[in-house]
Chains A and B, each alone.
Chain A
């Protein structure tokens, strides 16, 4: 390959390989550096999102391109968004949680039980606490079974997927429990600075997630366990305890999602959250978090969620069937992951000089 090139100039690896010990950092092409950095990896997603918005604007015109519709998309994205933030933590640490959808359903049922609603008459946030507590408890169970029972995460959370859904059916007796607590409904119908509280919650959870993952010891442990669990344990990281915390976070996010769902649908039922686990995993992986762990990006997850929400909206605006939408979704997942792998490969060979 290289024999054909006549220009001697571009030999980026040469000085580095010559072993100039005190030498300066290998000066990589700044553009290349940017694209292989965390922001650069997300650039593809941003481009895809813009492309989708342009398509929406062309095909659906005014119906798509207006502020109200943008908020529709954001509200639609919020529940899955919050669930996906929790999922990002679990996947970054090399785990998986397939139970988040079921747990969301269970949380919505427990929080909307007659007794809980009556108890919350004077203080509606109690419903929120109950929903989150149910999620945390389910996550604690998952984490305990995985970390101390040494059951593979996939199996443990599949078991929870089944059990939580069943429990939700038992508790609700398969009926729809209407939310009658007006304080609760009024709050979530309200807005701050013209933006729905549901969207604010998504934003706040995302920001908190970003902060914890990137700026705290908790986040460092998460990435370390995902990158090399044995190395983390041998360095003294309490891997088991941390694993339990991670599934509790995923559960808590499912509980928050349940609250938002209760407000949106004004009812709790055991069928809430059906297949949300797959939507969340898709958003996380398309966002650039490695499914094998060791690298996680909250920003990427948010973009992934927005991408799928916008896609869904564009299809609905154009009166296309949801079946077509599912096919498009599948294609996007595969293309995104293939592109990611290409970037990842280029990154690792690129650093070799």
Chain B
């Protein structure tokens, strides 16, 4: 802990807690931001970074804890209130309007006008000044934002923030969409901001960036700050990685049964490529085996799964199940070959939330229960109830509306769907997202049981720990490439993170 050398810190956050339903997204975050510093917030996916940003920018209200601004406790009721205080936020999904010009975007919501008439010339002049300040004098104020690159859109978003009188700028993984030259420009802009006394909260999981521009670091893990206000100069990366990963009671992984040497290869992927997203992915999964894809957000792991399943059409490459090549880009072919997917976004991609459980459990099989096109709902309910009991989904009421279930139980319904269908290959994208601790352990157990029964399982998770704990083998993915394939007995989380951040197999 650093004692503050400055008499007044710009922002102090103490014991911030935020709960959504039964899930605690933040469970005690402390951090302090000084005027003109770059304060990095570091953490894995799900560590609570986004929730923290949204709380500071007024999009969420904290349940407990205190936000002190310029020495005074404040409540930030909404994003406008945040702006009035002087806090601007640049989100990952840029909030610019494509159809408007750069100047119109910058003054959106606080248009420069005299007597209700827009002062376009004044807006253009100020926009030019802002662009100069941000190192992009070549961007004309009248240019339509839709024609800009992501990097330049980011500049517009920043210019909009600067058009207000701000003292703190929050940047949510700004480098994620930039190439290295653009990142250099971003850093110049950050330097420019701090030299004017504006503080920056910089969210990233790229350690090398933090070393370059960060003054101090706060590390989040599972919604709590496990290290607050650490000076970058005195904190080497090898101390940061253990803080980010830690060990967690949430991950109690079941025993793995050894795979028989003669277990047949069920899923075989060869040279699968989706132009611009991932390239030349080859992998095999044998019956009874769990193979994991480990990589960060944006590495292409979910896209790889979706392409294997036929949800996206590959540019080249093949997918075979049990030796039979599947028609590319056809979910129907994958399902017919007994492949099943539990998608990343369970609610928006997997479930009919307003329908009863049994209709979700039989979504792939209701025609099988039907006779001559006539539904047999009683049979569907019976089959669902049976699976609900097997999966210990309580209460076993197939008529219950799916929306009312917890994340863990909704995940079990996805498993039930494919159990009723009967699958040779089960593809699981983020199987424990939005699932609480207790249910996670259960789901790990179920996945392992399925493997032990001979199913080939391919799993993706943004939690590297989960991939390593659950899978027999892991493919490490970065920027759409398979960097390495390792037995999960031979590699630990540090090793994976190290590879992923360097972008090459060590």
Contacts and interface: CB of A to CB of B under 8 A. Distances in A.
Interface of A: 21-23, 25, 215-220, 223-224, 227-228, 230-238, 294-295, 348, 351-352
Contact of A235 (B370, B397, B417): B417
A289 to B, nearest CB: 13
Nearest to A353: B404
B366 A294 contact: no
Contacts of B332: 236, 238
Contact of B359 (A23, A25, A220, A295): A220
A349 to B, nearest CB: 11
A13 B188 CA distance: 56
Contacts of A217: 366-367, 370, 373-375
B373 A218 contact: yes
Contact of A351 (B373, B404, B417): B404
Interface stretch (B76-84, B111-119, B349-357, B482-490): B349-357
B363 A22 contact: no
Interface of B: 309, 311, 331-332, 334-336, 341, 343, 348-355, 359, 363-364, 366-367, 370, 373-375, 394-395, 397, 401, 403-404, 417
A231 B309 contact: no
30 contacts: A21-B395, A22-B394, A22-B395, A23-B395, A25-B395, A216-B373, A216-B374, A216-B375, A217-B367, A217-B370, A217-B375, A218-B373, A223-B355, A227-B352, A227-B353, A227-B355, A228-B349, A228-B350, A230-B343, A231-B352, A231-B363, A233-B311, A234-B309, A234-B331, A234-B341, A235-B335, A236-B332, A236-B364, A237-B363, A348-B403
A230 B353 CA distance: 13
A220 B375 contact: yes
A96 to B, nearest CB: 20
A294 B334 CA distance: 25
Given A223-B355, A235-B363, A21 B394 contact: yes
Contacts of B348: 228, 230-231
The 8 closest A-B pairs by CB, nearest first: A236-B335, A227-B352, A235-B363, A235-B364, A21-B394, A230-B349, A217-B367, A217-B370
Contacts of B395: 21-23, 25
Contact of A233 (B331, B353, B354): B331
Contacts of A218: 373
Contacts of A230: 343, 348-349
A231 B394 CA distance: 23
The CB with the most chain B CB atoms within 10 A, among A21, A220, A230, is that of: A220
Contacts of A228: 348-353
A25 B356 CA distance: 14
A215 B375 contact: yes
A343 B341 CA distance: 35
A294 B359 CA distance: 13
Contacts of A25: 395, 397
The CB with the most chain A CB atoms within 10 A, among B341, B375, B401, is that of: B375
Contacts of B375: 215-217, 219-220
Nearest to A236: B335
Nearest to A344: B354
A295 B352 CA distance: 11
B273 to A, nearest CB: 22
A232 B332 CA distance: 11
Contacts of B334: 236
B313 to A, nearest CB: 13
B377 to A, nearest CB: 9
Contacts of B343: 230-231, 234
The CB with the most chain A CB atoms within 10 A, among B354, B364, B374, is that of: B354
Contacts of A215: 374-375
Contacts of B364: 235-236
A223 B403 CA distance: 16
B354 A295 contact: yes
Contacts of B366: 217, 220
Nearest to A218: B373
Contacts of B363: 224, 231-232, 235, 237
B318 to A, nearest CB: 20
Nearest to A228: B352
A224 B352 CA distance: 7
Contact of A234 (B349, B394, B403): B349
A25 B401 CA distance: 12
Nearest to B351: A231
A13 to B, nearest CB: 11
Contacts of A223: 352, 355
Given A217-B367, A348-B403, 18 more contacts: A25-B397, A216-B373, A217-B373, A217-B375, A223-B352, A223-B355, A224-B355, A224-B359, A224-B363, A228-B350, A230-B348, A231-B351, A231-B363, A232-B352, A233-B311, A235-B363, A235-B364, A294-B355
Contacts of B335: 235-236
A224 B252 CA distance: 36
Nearest to A220: B366
The CB with the most chain A CB atoms within 10 A, among B348, B367, B374, is that of: B367
Nearest to A295: B354
Given A217-B370, A235-B363, A236-B331, A294 B309 contact: no
A232 B362 CA distance: 11
Contacts of A294: 352, 354-355
Contacts of B354: 227, 294-295
A215 B376 CA distance: 8
A242 B375 CA distance: 17
Contact of B370 (A216, A224, A231): A216
Contacts of B341: 234
Contacts of B355: 223-224, 227, 294
A234 B350 contact: yes
Contact of B349 (A224, A231, A348, A352): A231
A25 B334 CA distance: 37
B229 to A, nearest CB: 40
B448 to A, nearest CB: 23
A25 B311 CA distance: 38
A38 to B, nearest CB: 13
A231 B360 CA distance: 9
B35 to A, nearest CB: 44
Nearest to A211: B374
A351 B404 CA distance: 7
B503 to A, nearest CB: 31
Contacts of B403: 348, 351
Contacts of A351: 401, 403-404
A73 B374 CA distance: 34
Nearest to B404: A351
The CB with the most chain A CB atoms within 10 A, among B334, B341, B395, B417, is that of: B395
A96 B309 CA distance: 30
A219 B375 CA distance: 9
A215 B343 CA distance: 29
A219 to B, nearest CB: 8
Contacts of B352: 223-224, 227-228, 231-232, 294
